[in-house]
Structures are given as C-alpha cells and as structure tokens.
Copies of this chain bind each other. A is one copy, B any other.
Amino acid sequence: MTAQLTVGDFSRMTHLTVKTLRHYHEVGLLEPAAIDPATKYRYYTIDQLGQAQVIRRLRELDMPVADVKAVLAAHDVADRNALIARHLDRLETELARTRAAVDSLRALLEPAAHGYEVTHRTVAAAPAIAIEAVVEHGDLGAWWPGAIAELHATVNAQHLRVTGPLGGLYAAELFQEARGHSVVFIPVAGAVKPIGRVHAFTVPAAELALVTHAGSHDDVDVAYSELGAYVAAHEIGVAGPIREYYLRDPQQYPDPASRLTEIAWPVFRASA
C-alpha cells in the first residue's frame, strides 16, 4: 500500500524540481523514506507529500531552510503557528522597508535641490541619562524606539528636569562596518538612579559642524554626505562619534516624515 515514489514521481506531484529534492535530501530537510542500497535510488512515500507541500509554500515565502526545518519539527500546532507568524512579521517588516526605500528613491530623484546649510556650534559637556550598546546598523530601527521609550519612562519616574533635546552618539564603525557603539541620551539635571539599561552619562563637549535634516531617517545619508563633503572640503574633520539631535521627539511626533534631525560632525575649533 505504501507505494514507492521515485524522485521523478514525487517531483511531478509536488512541483518541486528533482534538483531541489536532491538538495533537500542533502541538507536533511526532506529525506527520502527509503534508499536502494545498490542503485542509490531515492524513494518517497505518499504521506511525505504533505510535508513537501508545506516546505514548498514556506520556501516560496523565502523562509530560510533552517527555519522550515524548525516548523516541521515543531511539537504542537501552537509552536508551529508561532514560528510561521514570526516569519510573516519579518515579511511585513521587509515590505515596510521596501516601501520606505521607494519613497526615499523618489525623493532623491526629484529635481528639487536638497540644499543643507552647514552651521557651527560649540557644546559644553552635559549631564544626561543614557542607554548604550553595540548595535548592528540594520537593527538600529528596532533598538532605537525601545531605548527612547525607556529613557522617557525614566525621566517621568524620577521626575528629572530635561535640559536639552534627545540625542545620540554613533561610532564611525556603525557606518563603516555596519556595527558599532551607539548611545542615546536625554540631558537632565539632578541625581539619577540607574535602572534597567539607563545610567548617568556625560555627553562630552565638542566642536560641531551640523546640518538639519527634515523627514524620514531613510534619507539621512544625503545629509551625511553634504555635511561630510563640507567637512572634507574645509579639512576640519577630527575623530569622534557622530552626533544626532532629535528636535522632534518621536514620542510626540510618531510620523517618521515629520522628524527634524540635526546631524553633527566633530570638527576642529573654528576660529570665532
């Protein structure tokens, strides 16, 4: 009753190519029910068809093979559905990213000039509360809102007096190697009790060249480029993290398009 299906048979039934079936055997995703020891022929059975169909659909959704394995190995339906739901969430995120990239491309190609005016500013060291971590560039979008929210919660819980705008410090490696030390901070006055990821921090003094970027962070590289070009042309760059000040607090302005960000590059002291 358990009819032996050859790769060809199984391929026709599942619409997976023979090459793909052999590959799935090799990586242990879908092993033939039997293998002829003499001829090495692969034989599948009818009750493997269901697995093959699930595999095909998950791969169609670009779920990594390792994750597909996990789905097949899931002990119960709840586990399985959770794994699938997580992947669908990833797809959603991807989709949002694509949409943002399309908008960003459109903005870049629009003939409207995006002239940034470069200004200079001297800032003194300032006490603050901060959260720091080494972050992947791609994870920044996820890490950032959580950190901001935690800082805000701490300000409220400890009744701290805010003395300046929300800001961030980003090591050069974050851009050069897509992974680097990042700090988000809120300048505050008074004593701070460390809690969770939040601790007292001193925002270092600096001499800065800066531009203001309006709109989504997806386009922020244009501002970085203009500012960097200015710094390079005037040969005034110095080492140190790049700084951003968020003039529209995301708590009050959740729409990314309404953001207003100062990008600040560390430079030599400009002769006043």
Chain A contacts to B: CB under 8 angstroms? 1, 3, 5, 8-9, 11-15, 17-19, 46, 49-50, 52-54, 56-58, 60-61, 81, 84, 88, 91, 95, 97-98, 101-102, 104-105, 108-109, 137, 172, 175-178, 220-222, 224-229, 232-233, 235, 237, 242
Contact = CB atoms under 8 A, between A and B. Distances in A.
A56 B221 contact: yes
A46 B229 contact: yes
Contacts of A228: 5, 9, 12-13, 49
A58 B9 CA distance: 42
Given A61-B102, A95-B95, A235 B12 contact: no
Contact of A225 (B8, B53, B57): B53
Nearest to A224: B13
Contact of A18 (B12, B52, B61, B177): B177
Contact of A222 (B12, B53, B175): B53
A9 B233 CA distance: 12
A9 B221 CA distance: 13
Contact of A101 (B61, B81, B101, B176): B61
Nearest to A7: B176
A74 to B, nearest CB: 12
Contacts of A226: 49
Contacts of A14: 221, 224-225
A53 B19 CA distance: 39
A187 to B, nearest CB: 25
B101 A172 contact: no
A224 B56 CA distance: 14
Contact of A176 (B18, B176, B220): B18
Contacts of A81: 109
A232 B229 CA distance: 69
Contacts of A57: 101, 104-105, 108
Contacts of A88: 102
A245 B196 CA distance: 64
Nearest to A137: B15
A60 B101 CA distance: 6
